[in-house]
Amino acid sequence: MSTHFPLGPFTPYERNPILRPQGDGWESASVYNPAAVVRDGRVALLYRAHAEDIVSHVGLATSDDGLHFERHPEPVLSPSEDYDRYGAEDPRVTEVDGTYYLTYTGWDRINARLCLATSTDLVTWTKHGAMFADFNTFLPQGNGVPGPWSKAGGILAEPVDGRYLMYFGEGSIYYAWSEDLLHWEPCSQDEPVMVPTPAGTFGDFLVEVGPPPIVTDNGLILLIHNAAVAFDDGTVRYTAGQLLLDPADPGTILAEMKRPWLEPSTYEDRHGLVSNVTFVEGLVHFKDTWFAYYGQSDSTLGVATYRVGDRYSAVGP
C-alpha cells in the first residue's frame, strides 16, 4: 500500500450515486456522509440516512468491489439517548484489534455533540456517550454558533508513543489523546490545529475533519478535511483538501493542499437538501485502489477512486 502526500488524484465514479434513498421509512429521503472500513475482504459503509423528518440513523452496506453495495435492512445505530434524540449523524469509523470505534454527531436540535460507540461486528453497537461536553469547535472564530458544539472525530488507528490520537472539529480542527480509545483528553480550546482559511480561499467559512487520518510511507500523518465557503444569499459550497502533520507535533501543519482535490461537479453534487456539497467521511485502500466515499448535497452517496501509480498532471498554486 503506497500512502503519500498529497494522496491522489481521485476521479469521481462515472456511475455515481452508488447509494440513493429508498423505500418509505428511515432512509427514504436522504442517504449520505458514509464512514468506510474493510472487513473480511469487503468494503463496509456506515452511512447517514433519514426520512423527511431529518432524524438521522446509521445504516450498513457492504460490497465486494467497493462500488456496488448490498444494504442491511435496518439501521444499526439510531437515536436513543437525550444527547442524540433527534439524530445519530455523520459517522467515522476506525478498527483497532478487532473493535470498531465509531464517532458520530449526537443532535438534540440545540447542540451537536461528538459521541462514541463501539462494536465487534458493525451491527450491534454500544454507546459511550458524548466525548467533549463543554467544547465549541467553532471557536475561536465563533460564527455565531453557541456551545457546546463538536463534530467530526477521526481516530488514527496506529498508536503514537503508546497513546491514540484523534482529530476532531467542525468550524476549526482540534486534536485529542487517549490511552484506551474510550476516554479522550482534548487539546486546549485556545489552540486549534486549523482555523478557517483566508478570505477568498476554499475554506474561509469553516474547516472540518474528514475520514480518520492515515500514516504516510515516511511516518507522517495525512488528514483529509472538508472545507466550506458561505455566500451572501445563505448558500454554501463544500469541497475537500488535505493536510500533512507530524505525530511528534500533532498541532502543527507541515503542508496543505491549496486547492480542492474533490469539489461539486455533477448534478447530484450541486442539487439536494443542501446543494453544492461534496463531503468526504470514508477512505479505504482496497484491491490496489483508494476509495473515498462522500455525501452529495446531503442527499445521495458517491465515491471517487485513486489507483496507486496515477499522477497529478499539474500542481496548482
Residue 263 has pLDDT above 90, yes or no: yes
pLDDT at 64: 98
pLDDT at 314: 45
Binning pLDDT at 50, 70 and 90, where does residue 254 land?
Answer: very high
What's the pTM value of the predicted model, to 2 decimals? 0.96
* Residue 211 cell numbers, joined: 475520514
SS3 content of the chain, % helix, strand, coil (to 5): 0, 50, 50
Residue range 306-312: average pLDDT?
84
Residue 256 has pLDDT above 90, yes or no: yes
Contacts of 189 (CB under 8 A, 6+ apart): 135, 136, 139, 174
Binning pLDDT at 50, 70 and 90, where does residue 141 land?
Answer: confident
d(CA 1, CA 224): 18
d(CA 112, CA 151): 7
Residue 315 has pLDDT above 50, yes or no: no
Residue 299 has pLDDT above 80, yes or no: yes
d(CA 163, CA 186): 13
Contacts of 114 (CB under 8 A, 6+ apart): 103, 104, 105, 106, 130, 131, 132, 135, 150, 151, 152, 153, 168
d(CA 151, CA 145): 13
pLDDT at 2: 76
pLDDT at 142: 66
- CA pseudo-torsion sign 134, 135, 140, 146: negative
Residue 18 has pLDDT above 90, yes or no: yes
Binning pLDDT at 50, 70 and 90, where does residue 143 land?
Answer: low
Condensed to tens digits (0 to 9), the pLDDT of residues 98-128 reads 999 999 999 999 999 999 999 999 999 999 9
Residue showing cell 439524530: 87
Residue range 137-157: average pLDDT?
85
Helix (H), strand (E), coil (C) string for 85-133: CCEEEEEEEEEECCEEEEEEEEECCCCEEEEEEEECCCCCCEEEEECCC
Percent of the chain with pLDDT over 90: 91
First to last CA, the chain: 28
Percent of the chain with pLDDT over 70: 98
Mean pLDDT, the chain, integer: 95
